[in-house]
Amino acid sequence: MQDRRNFLKAAALGAAAFSLDGIKPAQAAGRVTKGKPIVISTWDFGLPSNKAAWEVLRRGGRALDAVEAGVRIPEGDPDIQTVGLGGLPDRDGHVTLDACIMDELGNCGAVTALEHIVHAISVARAVMEKTPHVMLTGEGALQFALANGFKKENLLTPASEKAWKEWLKKSEYKPIMNIENKTYNGNGATAFNPLQLPGNVYNHDTIGMVAMDAQGNLSGACTTSGMAYKLRGRVGDSPIIGAGLYVDNEVGAATSTGVGEEVIRIVGSHLVVELMRQGYTPEAACKEAVARIVKKSPQKAKEIQVGFLALNKKGEYGAYCLQEGFSYAVCDSDTHNELIAGKHYF
C-alpha cells in the first residue's frame, strides 16, 4: 500500500505522470504485432475521439493510452453538453462528472460525482495507477485530483447555465430520448455538431470507448456528466465497472450509454462480455443485454434510450440499442473512421 509520503511524492510529480502516450516511435517499431488495432466509441462525437485514439494506436501505442486520449476530446470540448467541460449540471446547478477506465490486466479506476476537473478520465486513471483503490467519489475525488496536479476549473459554461435556468422554470426531471437520432445522416457521416441539431433537447450521451492495440490487448474508458438535472449525488452506470464498462482481455470489451439506472440493474457491460465468452457475436451480445432491459422494465424501455457497444478479441465489433438513433464510430486505419447506426429493438 502507498503510504502518505509516497502519495505526496506522486502528487508532486503531477502532470508529468499523465503522459498520454509514453510510447516512443522507436519502441513502437520493436513491438510484435499480435492484433489489428481498432477503436470504437459511442455517438457522433466518437469520430473525433477515435481520431485521437488512433494517433496512439497507429504508432503501436497501448490501448489504455489510446482510450484515455480519445475520450479526453469530448471532455475538453465546451460545446458538448453531456461530457466534461460544459456538461449540463445537476438540479442544483453543479456539474458533476463520472468516469472509469480499465486495462488489459483487469486494473481499473473510477471517479464519481467529481466536480471542477475537466478530465475526469485521467483522474480515474490516476486512481487506478496511484492508489490501492478502484473508486473515489465527490470531495475525496476532488482532493485526490488536486493533490495530483489537476487544475480546478469552473465546468459550468454560460450555455449550460442558461439551459439549466430554463429547466428550473418547470423543474421536471425527464430523460428525453435523444432526438439527434432523427438527424443521423447515415454511414460515413463525418459532420459532428450536436448544437446544430433541431431543438437541442438531448440531455444525456456518454462517451464509451473500447480499443484493441497492435499487441492484441484491450482497454476501455467511459466518461460523462451523467443525466442532466439529476438529483445531487446521483451516480449512473458510466463510472461503475461492469455496468458502464467492462474489459476482459481473454474475451472482449463492452461499454454502454443511455439511462444508467437500467444498465446498472442488469450489470450491462459485464453481461455483454460474458455473453461473448459464451460465443455470442458482439452484436448478438449487445442485443441480448438490450432484451434483458426490455424484459425487466417493458413499459419504461419504450420511453428511454440505452445502447451497448462491444468489441471481441478477434477485432469484431457490434452494437444494439433500444430506440432508433444510437450511432457509434469505428476506426481501424488512417483512412477509415466511420459512423454507423446501431440496430434497435423498437
Catalytic residue numbers, as ranges:
206
Selected range binding ligand ASP among 58-66, 145-153, 256-264, 267-275, rule: CB under 6 A: 256-264
Residue nearer to ligand ASP on the CB measure, 98 or 332: 98
Q: Under the criterion CB under 6 A, does residue 74 sit at the interface with ligand ASP?
A: no
Q: Under the criterion CB under 6 A, does residue 226 sit at the interface with ligand ASP?
A: yes
Sign of the four-CA dihedral 226, 228, 233, 237: negative
Residue nearer to ligand ASP on the CB measure, 322 or 331: 322
Using CB under 6 A, pick the residue from 258, 268, 318, 342 that binds ligand ASP. 258
Q: Under the criterion CB under 6 A, does residue 227 sit at the interface with ligand ASP?
A: yes
Q: Under the criterion CB under 6 A, does residue 257 sit at the interface with ligand ASP?
A: yes
Q: Under the criterion CB under 6 A, does residue 260 sit at the interface with ligand ASP?
A: yes
Q: Under the criterion CB under 6 A, does residue 238 sit at the interface with ligand ASP?
A: yes
Closest to 126 in 3D by CA, of 284, 254, 16: 16
The distance of closest approach from Cβ of residue 307 to ligand ASP in the complex, given in angstroms and rounded to an integer, is 8
Q: What is the CA radius of gyration of the chain?
A: 19
Q: Under the criterion CB under 6 A, does residue 271 sit at the interface with ligand ASP?
A: no
Residue 186 φ/ψ region, left for φ over 0, alpha for ψ in the -120 to 50 degree band, beta for the rest: left
The response to whether 127 counts as a known ligand-binding position is no
The response to whether 259 counts as a known ligand-binding position is yes
The response to whether 237 counts as a known ligand-binding position is yes
Q: Retrieve residue 125's grid coordinates.
A: 486513471
Other residues' Cβ atoms within 10 Å of the Cβ of residue 337: 21
User: What is the length of the chain?
Assistant: 346
Cα dihedral angle (252, 239, 137, 114), rounded to 10 degrees? 130
| H/E run at residue 253 | strand 252-258
Residue nearer to ligand ASP on the CB measure, 205 or 283: 205
**In the chain, which ranges are continuous DSSP H helix?**
4-13, 25-29, 46-57, 63-76, 120-130, 138-147, 158-168, 260-265, 268-277, 282-296, 298-301
Selected range binding ligand ASP among 119-127, 220-228, 280-288, 311-319, rule: CB under 6 A: 220-228
In a 13 Å sphere around the CA of 165, the CA atoms on its Cβ side amount to 7
The response to whether 205 counts as a known ligand-binding position is no
Q: Under the criterion CB under 6 A, does residue 46 sit at the interface with ligand ASP?
A: no
* Side chain identity at residue 185, one-letter code: N
DSSP for 199-219, written as a single string = GG------EEEEEE-TTS-EE
Residues 6+ apart with CB under 8 A from 205: 42, 43, 45, 82, 83, 178, 180, 194, 224, 257
Q: Under the criterion CB under 6 A, does residue 224 sit at the interface with ligand ASP?
A: yes
The distance of closest approach from Cβ of residue 261 to ligand ASP in the complex, given in angstroms and rounded to an integer, is 7
The distance of closest approach from Cβ of residue 79 to ligand ASP in the complex, given in angstroms and rounded to an integer, is 17
Using CB under 6 A, pick the residue from 237, 248, 274, 332 that binds ligand ASP. 237
The response to whether 234 counts as a known ligand-binding position is yes
The distance of closest approach from Cβ of residue 41 to ligand ASP in the complex, given in angstroms and rounded to an integer, is 12
Show binding-site residues for substrate: 234-237, 257-260
Show binding-site residues: 234-237, 257-260
Where do contacts with ligand ASP occur on this chain (CB under 6 A)? 204-206, 224, 226-227, 236-238, 257-260
